[in-house]
Amino acid sequence: AYIRGEASDVAGATSTDTKSEQPLVGVIMGSDSDLPVMAAACDILKDFNVPFEVTIVSAHRTPQRMANYAIEAPKRGIRCIIAGAGGAAHLPGMVAAMTPLPVIGVPVKAHILDGVDSLYSIVQMPRGVPVATVAINNSTNAALLAVRILGAYDPKYLTAMEKYQSDMEDGVLVKAEKLEA
């Protein structure tokens, strides 16, 4: 079983059963070295009370596991997959090739090419196999997009997103007022 709703457990690969709800979002990453970046996505999903699971799936090192994950995810009730990877970041694209679910790719900044390699690897998908690509290291936006996707068929998430947007606007206005005072 994949780890449910506890990003902090991924590195140690310890399982938890604290979240019993059916996960709707699958957060996967190519390596545990991606976790510091991908943890922000998990935080957002927690904030929105979205049941999710998180695990490591490598396109290159565990190709069979990747195939199994992509094929089984819709059968298990997953509605959206967030996939983070760095370098030759094939994970989001390969998962998108093997599942009908929406896939959101997070380009993780590797040590050498500043994340541009990851970005290009993920964003330059050929026609027919879409991956919704967010900015380098921006797993926050990946999770927000996942919430919006869920909101398209569950009004609970739509309402929560409206509140998030409204709070964000208020936050900026408060800062503007302070600056202008």
CA distance 167 to 120: 33
How far apart are CB 118 and ligand RP5 at their closest, in Å? 7
Q: Which is nearer to ligand RP5, 46 or 60 (CB)?
A: 60
How far apart are CB 42 and ligand RP5 at their closest, in Å? 16
Q: Which is nearer to ligand RP5, 57 or 147 (CB)?
A: 57
How far apart are CB 89 and ligand RP5 at their closest, in Å? 6
| DSSP H helical ranges for 73-115 | 91-98
Q: Which is nearer to ligand RP5, 73 or 108 (CB)?
A: 108
CA distance 115 to 63: 22
Q: Which residues of 70-83 are buried (b: 16+ CB within 10 A; e: fewer)?
A: beebeeeebbbbbb
Phi-psi region of 87 (alpha: psi -120 to 50; beta: other; left: phi over 0): left
Distances (CA, A) of 152 to 129, 138, 145, 146, 161: 21, 22, 11, 10, 11
How far apart are CB 45 and ligand RP5 at their closest, in Å? 19
Q: Which is nearer to ligand RP5, 29 or 145 (CB)?
A: 29
Q: Which is nearer to ligand RP5, 73 or 106 (CB)?
A: 106
Kindly list the residues in this chain that would bind ligand RP5 in the complex (CB under 6 A): 29-31, 33-34, 58, 60, 85-87, 108, 110
Whether 40 and 68 have beta carbons less than 8 Å apart is answered as no
How far apart are CB 35 and ligand RP5 at their closest, in Å? 10
